[in-house]
């Protein structure tokens, strides 16, 4: 077995676009450079660098007190 065959590739991050609504007013704490959020009224759109959709949603949920996910079909 060569050295190249022993390397296991780590999953790369992807950009996920998430849409959600927030109750106003609320405390917001954006502390992750992998998150870019646009807020218009109570509607929010975020671009999140993550390994999966679940990780992306978890990152957003840590930043806001209360959110309601908007799932696009």
Is the model's pLDDT at 72 over the cut of 90? no
Edge to edge, the sheet with strand 43-50 lists 35-40, 43-50, 14-22, 67-70
In a domain, 22, yes or no: yes
Domain that holds residue 46: 10-70
Give the pLDDT score at 4. 62
Model confidence at 73, in pLDDT bands (50, 70, 90)? very low
2 assigned to some structural domain: no
Whole-number Å distance between alpha carbons of 70 and 73:
10
How many domains is the chain partitioned into structurally?
1
| 50 has a pLDDT exceeding 80 | yes
> Would you say residue 5 lies in a domain?
no
Give a yes or no: residue 44 inside a domain: yes
């Amino acid at each position: 077995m060569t050295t190249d065959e022993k390397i296991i590739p780590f999953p790369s991050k992807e950009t996920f676009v998430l849409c959600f609504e927030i109750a106003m007013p609320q405390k917001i704490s954006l502390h992750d450079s992998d998150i870019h959020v646009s807020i218009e009224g109570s509607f929010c759109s975020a671009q999140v660098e993550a390994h999966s959709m679940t990780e992306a949603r978890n990152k957003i949920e840590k930043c806001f007190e209360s959110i309601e996910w908007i799932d696009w079909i």
